[in-house]
Structure 1
Amino acid sequence: MHIEHLAIWVRDLEQMRNFYETYFGATANDKYTNSRKGFSSYFLSFPDNGPRLELMQMPGISEQSGDPLTQFMGLTHIAFSVGSETAVDGLTEQFRADGYTIVGEPRRTGDGYYESVVLDPEGNRIEITV
């Protein structure tokens, strides 16, 4: 058994697709559109052939209330392994230079992970780890 994919409702489908392609090497399938429902999505595949990420957009989806810097119940982050501490540091600095919000500086956690946390363009927490 394995996780096949995770899904995120997004406001700006193209911006989010570009973010994951640019920073995590994702490859998007052809855009799926259901014009009757106003639904569009991409499935993103990653170089390691692990779980895919589905980005979905449709009018009428409610915004989650609250501050993206505050934790909440439910799915809280997506973690990407980039292979080394140096890669964690480098990607974190690339996000900073490109104007993204770093909410967790690179560090070693109590359970032994080396990681940082950045917010994607829509405020989702992305953990960058070895």
Structure 2
Amino acid sequence: MKIEHVAIWAKDIDKVCDFYRKYFNGEVQPLYHNPAKQFTSRFVTFEDGARLEVMHRPDVGTEAMFHVKRPQGECSAHTCMGIAEPQDVGHEVSQPFQAQHEQGQHLGYAHLSFSVGSKEEVDRLTQKMSDEGIQIVGQPRTTGDGYYESVVLDPEGNRVEVTV
């Protein structure tokens, strides 16, 4: 058994796909469009067969994503899931989420990791990205569990580890 692909939502599919093509040699596949659902996506295929689906739908990403404190029993399906509805503006945001948000972390998807083969390549690629304006959030280093890696953000803020 293997993971067939991982999918992420994006505001700008082409910009995100271009990032993975340029820095990780991904092959960007043709655009898929379902007009009935206003859904578009592209797969990016990597040399080892791994695939990333980059998806867009106009209504995804427009809602405010934060936990709203409400009296017990008064949450809708959305607010129970941590998605604020328009009428929630002005409600108090829960502290644990504020702390996670400020650190750029949240429950769920955390990062993608690409093995580039050597420490020297981690250093070279990280420097190239930095020189080209890609945000580096973790300089190359050996982690406590023995990985040599850097951490960068793709064009929409998704964390990407560059490792040996």
Counterpart mapping for 1:7-86 below 5 A: 7-49=7-49, 51-63=50-62, 64=65, 67=101, 70-86=104-120
1:89 matched to 2:123? The reply is yes
More helix by proportion, 1 or 2? Answer: 2
1:10-59 deviations in whole A, cap 9, x for unaligned? Answer: 0001111111111100012211000111111011110122x210000011
Runs of 5+ in structure 1 lacking a partner?
none
Higher relative contact order structure (alpha carbons within 8 Å, sequence separation ≥ 6) = 1
Cα distance in 2 for residues equivalent to 1:52 and 1:117: 20
Larger of the two Rg values belongs to structure: 2
- Pick closer, same or farther for the CA change 1:121–1:69 going to 2, 3 Å: farther
Cα distance in 1 for residues equivalent to 2:124 and 2:146: 20
RMSD after superposition: 1.5
Runs of 5+ in structure 2 lacking a partner?
67-97
**Size of the alignment, in residue pairs?**
129
Identity %, equivalent residues:
49
Q: Does the CA-based 8 Å contact 1:34-1:40 persist in structure 2?
A: yes
Aligned amino acid, residue 62 of structure 1? G
TM-score, normalised via structure 2 length? 0.75
- Pick closer, same or farther for the CA change 1:111–1:96 going to 2, 3 Å: same
The ranges of structure 1 where at least 4 consecutive aligned residues each deviate by more than 4 angstroms after the TM superposition are: 63-69
Q: Which residue of 1 aligns with 2:80?
A: none
- Pick closer, same or farther for the CA change 1:69–1:11 going to 2, 3 Å: farther
TM-score, normalised via structure 1 length? 0.93
- Pick closer, same or farther for the CA change 1:4–1:83 going to 2, 3 Å: same
1:51-90 deviations in whole A, cap 9, x for unaligned? Answer: 2100000110135567585211111000000000000000
- Residue number among 118, 122, 125 corresponding to 2:156 in the alignment: 122
